[in-house]
Amino acid sequence: MQPQERILELKKERNAVILAHNYQLPEVQDIADFVGDSLGLAVQASQSEADVIVFCGVDFMAESAKILNPEKIVLHPETKSCCPMAAMCEPSSLRMLKNDFPRASVVAYVNTTAECKAESDICCTSSNAIKVVNSLESDLIIFLPDENLANYVQRFTNKSIIPWPGYCPTHEAITLEKIENLKDKHPLALVIVHPECRPEVIDIADAVRSTEGMLNFIRESDAEEFIIGTEKDMLYRLSKEFPDKTFYDVPGAVCPTMKLITLDNVLAALESLSPKVTLSPELMDKARTPLDRMMAIGRGD
C-alpha cells in the first residue's frame, strides 16, 4: 500500500484533518485537506471539527493550532521543522523592550513562539499586518520578529514602529539582482513578492502580497507570466490552480525546515498519534487572546 493510501485510511479512522502550508513539499500538499497561508491555516484550525489536527508546517504554526484547539490532539510530524525567524525573538528580551517602551502596543507576527505571542497585544499575518497596526489606538508599535515586514508596514501607517531585528532567511535570499536577472529573461512577467522580502526588492515589485494574496492577484490579472518572490513550492500550488499561466521561481528561495515534513512522517504521526504539541494551559490562555484578535481583524489583501 502506498503511503498516500494508508494516510487516507488512518485519517478516517482517527477523525483527523491534515493542514499544510503553501511551502510544503508537493506530495504533502496533495494529501492535505487544506493548503494555505498562516491566516487561512489558523482559521481552518479554529473551525475544525476533527479530533486530530495534523499540522504540516513549522513549529509556530502547530503551536497556534493547539492554542486555538486546546482540547484537540495536534500533531506536528517533524519536531525539527522549526522557523529560524521565530527563534530570533526571545521572550526575556521582548519583556525588556516592553519595559523600555511601556506605552507601545506589541504586534506579534504569527511567525513567533507561543511565549512571544503571550507577551503581545495582538498577532498579525503578512496579509493583515497593515490593517492590524492601523487598528490600534497607540501611535507607538513594537513589531516582532520580522524587520522587513515591519518596514513594509511602516510605509502605510503614520504610527511609529519599533522593528525587532529578525528576518526570514528564505526571503532574504531573494535579492534585487536575482529579480532583475529574471526580469531580463522574462520581460513580460509581472513581479509579485512577499512582504518579508528586502525593501529594495519590494520597491521594484508589481505587487506585494501574502501567499494567499498572490493567488487573488493572479486570478484577477490578465498577465500570463509571473515572477514569484517567495518560497519555491508556492509555485506548485499556483501551477495547479492556474495551469494556463507560467510562473518563475527565484533561485535559492527554499525553506529547508519546511521540507523536513514528508509523507513518511505524516504517516508515522497518524499511526502513533505523536509527536503531540503540548503547551501549558496558562501559556495557551495568554497566547489565545492576541490570536483571536488577529482573526477578528480578518484578511487585509
Are 152 and 208 in contact by the 8 Å Cβ rule? The answer is yes
The answer, yes or no, to whether residue 38 has pLDDT greater than 80, is no
Cβ within 8 Å of residue 33, ≥6 positions away: 17, 18, 19
Give the separation between CA 287 and CA 292, rounded to whole angstroms: 9
The predicted structure's pLDDT at residue 256: 97
Each domain of the chain, given as residue ranges in start order, spans: 3-82+258-279, 86-167+287-297, 174-249
Relative to beta strand 190-193, strand 160-163 is: unpaired
Over pLDDT 90: what percentage of the chain?
93
Sequence-distant (6+) residues with CB within 8 A of 196 are 126, 146, 148, 149, 167, 168, 171, 230
- Does domain 174-249 fall under CATH 3.40.50.10800? My reply is yes
The reply to whether 86-167+287-297 and 174-249 are identical in fold is yes
What CATH class has 86-167+287-297? alpha beta
State how far the alpha carbon of 229 is from the alpha carbons of 28, 180, 243, in Å. Answer: 22, 12, 19
What mean pLDDT, rounded, does the chain reach?
96
Alpha-carbon distances of 261 from 21, 67, 72, 232, 249, rounded to whole Å: 11, 21, 21, 16, 21
| Residue where the block lists cell 489565545 | 288
- 230-257 confidence digits (pLDDT tens): 999 999 999 999 999 999 999 999 999 9
- Amino acid identity for residue 52 in this structure: V
Helix axes 281-297, 38-47, angle to 10 degrees: 110
- Amino acid 298: pLDDT: 85
User: DSSP of 230-258, one letter per residue?
Assistant: S-TTHHHHHHHH-TTSEEEEPTT---TTG
Strand partners for 18: 54
Q: Is 109 helix (H, G, I), strand (E, B) or coil?
A: strand
Q: What is the dihedral of CA 144, 149, 154, 157, to 10 degrees?
A: -90
**33 DSSP 8-state letter:** S
207-208 and 190-193 beta bridge pairing? parallel
Residue 283: pLDDT over 90: yes
| Secondary structure letter of residue 260 according to DSSP | G
Beta-bridge partner residues of 34: 19
CATH of 3-82+258-279, one of 3.40.50.720, 3.40.50.10800, 1.10.3720.10, 3.30.1330.100: 3.40.50.10800
Residue 15 region by backbone torsions, left for phi larger than 0, else alpha for psi between -120 and 50, else beta:
left
Amino acid type, 41:
L
Q: Which amino acid is residue 150, in one-letter code?
A: A
pLDDT in tens, 159-203: 999 999 999 999 999 999 999 999 999 999 999 999 999 999 999
**CA–CA distances in Å: residue 131 to residues 99, 122, 134, 161, 296:** 25, 12, 5, 14, 11
Alpha carbon 274 to its chain centroid, in Å, reads: 23
Average pLDDT over residues 85-101: 97
The reported pTM is 0.94
